[in-house]
């Protein structure tokens, strides 16, 4: 091992993406990089995180900051692929350039051909450790790489790890420990705040969901391990809000209840929010009562569609009745609700998308709604289906491949046209966010300058979405 090795981990700047204002360009703490940093530091390897998104840096500015490092690792999601490639080509040849995350995993060959030396495929903590410790590339599982002759090789996959053995994320490597400005999540209520993963993976098989990093095997952390991290956040960082970021927090309902019980026993005065959504078919009255007592005041659900036929094609594995019951029980427990809905799903037409509007806004009546257009992310079944049987409207630099983009990026005979999809998307947006009841309810909730600022940025986002027509 080279004792002089120094590693820089880069979060690209997403501001070149489809700007809809407000929350789109909030800097979310890059927990993936924090996990990488924690494993390297646990093994005495110096590492720094350069968050170009939080600092609003250009590729040129990041390249200048990264000059003194031996290895530069870059997190590549689709909207920032262009940024990452430009950065890789600006870095000196003596720096080992490593790419990771979903887009790099799905397009490892293109990523290598366009400037990177190594691509970490899937989970990267111990893959990057092997690279930093100087292990021969041909012996490292979970990578693709270029050899000295420029030839590309793909190694065997890396086995998934037990998340309990991974150290807690190195939040101290971020500005303000990643818990205050410039970091905020969607409608963050209290700072310091912290997102947390209590599990990895999702056992479901939705065709639009990318499982390239955490996989389809649900791997929960033990309740004790989760509580130990929360205790660190509360006692060391004085965190006031915990955002659960799992794909499937409540798949094992008894484990989820145990986590709630342990939070209650510790008498921590914190807000709990399930911002990434939980399964509607795995909630009961007891669980929601425990969540409320533990401090939960916000739960999002992946509703997706208000038409059962469209829902079955996903396949979501839930019924409209189960979703409606989850909303009723959540409201009964005194917890605010959010609904994630998508327009442009397989089998959608004007009627089914109207079903989604009616079901969501007239029957579920959530406090908040995340309204998006179907995006064919690389590595998903949908992407492969469009590639084989349809066509992409645009994918030259990937910058618009984001669920925040109010434009449909593909055409396929099994899906509605971009024109119809965008029309129904805007109709839903207006019906929910311009509803006088929604506006009045949110005015009433404003209790501080922080709340007012969040609300004004939300209004800016709504305005920008509604005026975005014909690519303008």
Which CATH number covers residue 204? 3.80.30.20
In a domain, 363, yes or no: yes
User: Cis peptide before 318, with omega less than 30 degrees from 0?
Assistant: no
Mean pLDDT taken over the chain:
90
Q: Is 60 exposed, middle or buried (0-12, 13-18, 19+ CB in 10 A)?
A: exposed
In a domain, 174, yes or no: no
| Number of domains present in the structure of the chain | 2
pLDDT digits (tens, 9 = 90+) for 3-42: 689 999 999 998 765 544 333 446 889 999 999 999 999 9
In a domain, 161, yes or no: no
What's the CA gap between 287 and 254, in Å, rounded?
8
- The per-residue pLDDT for 186 is 67
Do residues 260 and 396 both lie within one domain?
yes
| Single residue among 154, 173, 201 that ends a domain in this structure | 154
pLDDT digits (tens, 9 = 90+) for 173-199: 999 999 988 888 767 888 999 999 999
Q: Which two tokens stand for residue 54?
A: 């939080």
- The per-residue pLDDT for 452 is 53
In a domain, 179, yes or no: no
| Residue 470: pLDDT over 60 | no
pLDDT digits (tens, 9 = 90+) for 195-226: 999 999 999 999 999 888 888 899 999 999 99
Q: Which residues contact 274 (CB under 8 A, 6 or more apart)?
A: 243, 244, 249, 296, 298, 299, 300
pLDDT band at 465 (very low <50, low <70, confident <90, very high): low
Do residues 294 and 433 both lie within one domain?
yes
- Lowest pLDDT segment from 271-275, 353-357, 383-387, 400-404: 400-404
| Residue 83: pLDDT over 50 | yes
% the chain with pLDDT above 70: 89
In a domain, 216, yes or no: yes
In a domain, 458, yes or no: yes
Do residues 217 and 289 both lie within one domain?
yes
Do residues 134 and 235 both lie within one domain?
no
In a domain, 114, yes or no: yes
Do residues 74 and 205 both lie within one domain?
no
| Single residue among 108, 132, 154 that ends a domain in this structure | 154
| Residue 341: pLDDT over 50 | yes
Q: Is 455 exposed, middle or buried (0-12, 13-18, 19+ CB in 10 A)?
A: middle
pLDDT band at 455 (very low <50, low <70, confident <90, very high): low
What's the CA gap between 20 and 190, in Å, rounded?
24
Do residues 346 and 429 both lie within one domain?
yes
Do residues 242 and 147 both lie within one domain?
no
- The per-residue pLDDT for 24 is 43
Do residues 337 and 414 both lie within one domain?
yes
In a domain, 163, yes or no: no
What residue numbers bound the domain in which 244 lies? 185-467
**Domain CATH number, residue 134:** 3.40.50.280
Do residues 442 and 329 both lie within one domain?
yes
Q: Which residues contact 285 (CB under 8 A, 6 or more apart)?
A: 329, 332, 333
| Single residue among 134, 154, 174 that ends a domain in this structure | 154
> Are the C-beta atoms of 201 and 217 separated by less than 8 Å?
yes
Paired with 427 in beta bridges are: none
Do residues 328 and 395 both lie within one domain?
yes
Do residues 147 and 193 both lie within one domain?
no
Do residues 41 and 108 both lie within one domain?
yes
């Amino acid at each position: 091992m080279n004792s002089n090795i120094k590693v820089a981990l880069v979060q690209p700047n997403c501001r070149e993406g489809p700007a809809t204002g407000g929350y789109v360009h909030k800097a979310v703490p890059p927990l993936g990089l924090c996990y990488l940093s924690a494993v390297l530091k646990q093994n005495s390897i110096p590492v720094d995180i350069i968050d170009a998104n939080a600092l609003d840096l250009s590729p040129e500015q990041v390249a200048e900051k990264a000059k003194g490092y031996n290895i530069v690792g870059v997190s590549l999601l689709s909207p920032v692929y262009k940024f990452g490639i430009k950065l890789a080509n600006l870095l000196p040849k003596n720096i080992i350039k490593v790419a990771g995350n979903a887009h790099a995993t799905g397009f490892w060959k293109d990523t290598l051909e366009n400037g990177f030396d190594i691509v970490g495929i899937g989970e990267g903590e111990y893959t990057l450790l092997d690279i930093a410790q100087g292990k021969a590339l041909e012996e490292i599982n979970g990578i693709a790489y270029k050899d000295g002759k420029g030839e590309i090789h793909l190694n065997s996959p890396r086995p998934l790890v037990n998340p309990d053995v991974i150290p807690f994320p190195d939040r101290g490597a971020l500005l303000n420990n990643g818990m205050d400005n410039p970091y905020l999540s969607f409608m963050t209520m209290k700072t310091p705040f912290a997102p947390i993963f209590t599990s990895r993976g999702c056992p479901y098989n939705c065709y639009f969901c990318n499982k390239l990093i955490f996989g389809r095997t649900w791997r929960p952390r033990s309740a004790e391990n989760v509580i130990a991290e929360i205790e660190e956040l509360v006692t060391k960082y004085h965190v006031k809000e915990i955002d659960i970021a799992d794909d499937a927090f409540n798949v094992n309902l008894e484990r989820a209840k145990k986590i709630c019980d342990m939070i209650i026993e510790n008498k921590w005065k914190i807000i709990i929010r399930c911002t990434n959504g939980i399964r509607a078919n795995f909630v009961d009255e007891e669980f929601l009562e425990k969540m409320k007592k533990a401090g939960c005041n916000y739960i999002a659900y992946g509703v997706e569609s208000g038409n059962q036929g469209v829902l079955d094609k996903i396949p979501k594995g839930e019924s409209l009745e189960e979703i409606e019951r989850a909303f009723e029980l959540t409201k009964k427990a005194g917890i605010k609700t959010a609904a994630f809905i998508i327009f442009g799903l397989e089998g959608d037409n004007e009627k089914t998308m109207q079903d989604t509007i009616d079901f969501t806004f007239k029957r579920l009546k959530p406090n908040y709604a995340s309204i998006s257009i179907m995006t064919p992310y690389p590595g998903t079944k949908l992407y492969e289906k469009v590639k084989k049987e349809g066509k992409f409207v645009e994918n030259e630099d990937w910058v618009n491949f984001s669920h925040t983009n109010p434009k449909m990026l593909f055409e396929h005979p099994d899906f509605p046209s971009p024109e119809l999809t965008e029309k129904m998307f805007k109709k839903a947006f207006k019906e929910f966010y311009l509803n006088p009841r929604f506006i009045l309810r949110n005015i009433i909730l404003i209790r501080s300058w922080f709340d007012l600022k969040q609300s004004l940025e939300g209004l800016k986002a709504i305005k920008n979405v509604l005026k975005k027509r014909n690519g303008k």
